[in-house]
Structure 1
Amino acid sequence: MFKQLCNRFGTPISVGIAALLLVWLIALVILPQLLMVDYSFRPNLLPSEIGGPKDSYSLVNYVTLFNNKIHLGIFFKTIWSSVMVTALTLVVSYPLAFYLAKVATPKQAALCLLLLIIPFWINEILRTFSWYIILAYNGPLNAMLQALGLIDRPLRFLSGNGGVMVGMVYAYILFMIFPLYNALESLDANQIRAARNLGASWAKTHLRIIIPHAKPGIATGCIMTFMLAAGSYAVPALLGSPGSRWFTQIIYNWFFEGGNWNQGAAYAFLLLILCIGFIGLVMKVFKVGLGDIAK
């Protein structure tokens, strides 16, 4: 990659770009993560006790999670819910991405992409609040369903995980659509026509031709959506109920309400490890490498 940069921009500019990337990786990614790991193995002490005999490395902060059944339950519920969000986002995004890549004309595709992107010019908090209004007990969705005679009384969409799931699918749908669109756009349409001419149904054409070709895009979209969903704070905080807390809310409470950065770092590091494991699992299931995902 560095040689390609040199060929395109010249050696001095390429060295500058590489240096800026290196500084960004070290200062904003690697060092904060190392600091978080260091915090997670140390006890929460008063400033006067830091560096003293009590300031030693241990697994106490990690053991706390496994001894707290409530936090452990929220942890596994967050992971499972993030998987469900990823699956729902894939189901919603795949037909749309296929339409944009292989069915729509260039003008239609451009218009659809513009309509998808425009709402994301608004801050995520405001977009989440809009869903809070839509799904409220006396909100427009319940009013419409009652007007159509589909329900007798308003439904409490925000009393469980339903509102959080809907909000997250909407919040992260672009992170699934664009990798899928990028992968499907490179598929030769003659392969689809050949499969159809040979008698393959649309279902078999998708299963045997289109989806295998789109595997890097599916893997990339699933990884990005899962990571964002598992690490989300605003959506579950605004659209969730007390019974649908997200693990990130527990981490936030440790850091900013409990003042225990060491315990919060341990929780955050465990979530990071599990997300990295999910990335490896997705890559293995779809049989793609980092190079395929980077495309």
Structure 2
Amino acid sequence: MKQLKLAYDALLAKHGMGAALFVAISVTLWVVVFITLPQLSMLDYSFRFNLPVDQLGTDADHYTLEQYRSFFFNNDGSVNRLDILILVRTLIAALIVTGIDVIICYPIAYILAHGAKGVAARLMVIGLIIPYWINEILRAFAFRVLFGSTGVVNTWGMQLGLWDAPVDFIRADVALYCGLAYAYILLMIFPIYNAVEALDHTQVEAARDMGAPLWRVHWRVVLPMAKPGIASGATMVFMLTAGALAAPQILGGPSSLWFTQVIYQWFNESSNWPRGSAYAVVLLVTCISFVLLMMRVFKVSVGEIGK
């Protein structure tokens, strides 16, 4: 709340009462109408039975933990290993995609902030943004074509003699990881760029003059400045990857069921909204808990991410 008050005061001082009220009301309506109320409605659904319409509001329509119990246990009382393993596999995959984006985006953001100047910097930004004018689903299908058995990757790999027969990148989830990493790459680059841009480049030059190798300069000088940006980007990429649906359905192999696909099945194929809501709440709580744990491990606060 303190950060919000400071932001409001800064906006008020710079643009006046009208602009400050407009932004405050718009943000409040957005948070309440499009985020808070749907989440509360879904939470309420998750504690209900899946009843026919004519039984809604009767004595049979009361709160229950049955939907959550079904996630952890089967009808015979055994542990529901299938859904739990799908959730764990989804979180691990989201963590891998987040790590890939950090590795790719950190050097790009650093070069963009302290290497490229003038026209080169603008061309880099344009080159990053223009591909995202294409619809996400079309990009996913493009990756499926790219990594298909007769796609560019397999064709070049066989022509260069790297492998003799087409590799099934779809079944191996290579296409899925690449597609997801590409889908959210901008959400990693720009937070890191904003953090690294504030770094005084003379500190880097001083470290190099004192004989520090390049890796130590980044480890001791650049990364401490970039850590809030990395945490912010990693949070967004991890949450969006864990909640992705289109890309896993298009690029995922037959054995790579995503947890969001399970949720989709409960909502749309089984018409069991309480069960789907419970599974969605489980995914949300698990992701938030994991992100908070990682913030604690890497000693990054919410305020630092907000910057």
**TM-score, normalising length from structure 1?**
0.97
Per-residue CA distance 1:94-144 (angstroms, 9 max, x = gap):
111111112222321211111111100110001111001000111121111
* Aligned counterpart, 2:252: 240
Aligned AA (1:126): L
Aligned AA (2:121): A
Aligned AA (1:98): Y
Aligned AA (1:25): V
Tell me the CA shift for residue 283 of structure 1: 2.2
* Aligned counterpart, 2:281: 269
Q: For structure 1, list consecutive stretches of 5 or more residues without a partner in the other structure.
A: none
Bigger mean CA offset, 270-279 vs 210-219: 270-279
Q: 1:147 aligns with which of 143, 159, 170?
A: 159
Q: Tell me, in whole angstroms, the C-alpha distance in 1 between the residues paired with 2:297 and 2:228.
A: 11
Q: Tell me, in whole angstroms, the C-alpha distance in 2 between the residues paired with 1:218 and 1:139.
A: 33
Q: Tell me, in whole angstroms, the C-alpha distance in 1 between the residues paired with 2:145 and 2:288.
A: 35
Aligned AA (2:65): L
Q: Tell me, in whole angstroms, the C-alpha distance in 2 between the residues paired with 1:128 and 1:202.
A: 36
Aligned AA (2:103): V
Moved runs in structure 1, 4+ residues, more than 6 A? none
Aligned AA (2:253): S
Aligned AA (2:132): F
Q: Does residue 27 in structure 1 map to residue 33 in structure 2?
A: yes
Per-residue CA distance 1:55-76 (angstroms, 9 max, x = gap):
1211111111112321111111
* Aligned counterpart, 2:4: none
| DSSP 3-state at the match of 1:245 | coil
Identity of aligned residues (%): 43
Tell me the CA shift for residue 271 of structure 1: 0.6
* Aligned counterpart, 1:222: 234
* Aligned counterpart, 2:56: 50
| DSSP 3-state at the match of 1:146 | helix
Q: Tell me, in whole angstroms, the C-alpha distance in 2 between the residues paired with 1:108 and 1:115.
A: 10
Tell me the CA shift for residue 290 of structure 1: 2.1
Matched pairs, number? 295
* Aligned counterpart, 2:294: 282
* Aligned counterpart, 1:252: 264
* Aligned counterpart, 2:85: 73
Q: Does residue 127 in structure 1 map to residue 133 in structure 2?
A: no
Tell me the CA shift for residue 149 of structure 1: 1.5
Aligned AA (1:140): V
More helix by share: 1
Q: Does residue 92 in structure 1 map to residue 100 in structure 2?
A: no
Q: 2:12 aligns with which of 1, 6, 23?
A: 6
| DSSP 3-state at the match of 2:255 | helix
Q: For structure 2, list consecutive stretches of 5 or more residues without a partner in the other structure.
A: 1-6, 74-79
Tell me the CA shift for residue 204 of structure 1: 0.9
Tell me the CA shift for residue 293 of structure 1: 1.1
- On the 8 A contact 1:164/1:236 being kept in 2, the answer is yes
* Aligned counterpart, 1:165: 177
| DSSP 3-state at the match of 1:159 | coil
- On the 8 A contact 1:89/1:169 being kept in 2, the answer is yes
Q: Tell me, in whole angstroms, the C-alpha distance in 1 between the residues paired with 2:291 and 2:118.
A: 33
Q: Tell me, in whole angstroms, the C-alpha distance in 1 between the residues paired with 2:299 and 2:291.
A: 12
| DSSP 3-state at the match of 2:281 | helix
